[in-house]
Structure 1
């Protein structure tokens, strides 16, 4: 049984060592909007990725996943997200912003 665990741990270590770091940059870093305005956040990444997620974090709150996207566009009410894996970017668009949209937005690849 011990040998089996050692082999499994060795396999996990090898997989972790093969993980390639992807640099992710979001812009703008800070955005101040008037209520009712539209805005677009952009996420650029340094390598081709298969999927991307957008999250929202309200002050003092936990992360809320807004989108899990592999390509194309997804929409949920006033929010929409696009992903272009070939050109290595994604956008998050907020239409007619409201007070409750005040939060931190994060993309993760």
Structure 2
């Protein structure tokens, strides 16, 4: 993994391109769990920051998730994804048919 390490306000961060982070998400998440902060760059411009969730944030997210499940906007968690899930190859949807189907379902309210 090609990494650039930068220091911003005395906080160590790892920077990764969008393509590299997509290909190595599982490894990046392990680094985040170990306390690293990852900044994702799109053509050199920061577009996302991935960092560990603190305990109080985790409680807030759990409450938010409960509320979203109750309102029907989020399906309840059935089982955890194995880390190997993120190593699976992405589909090659050249014509965008998956996106078209999802947008059609959204329009129809399904």
Q: TM-score range by the shorter chain?
A: under 0.3
- Choose between structure 1 and 2: higher strand proportion: 1
TM-score of the superposition, structure 1-length normalised?
0.22
**Greater length-normalized contact order (CA 8 Å, ≥ 6 residues apart):** 1
**Structure with higher helix content:** 2
In the superposition, the TM-score normalised over structure 2's length comes to 0.22
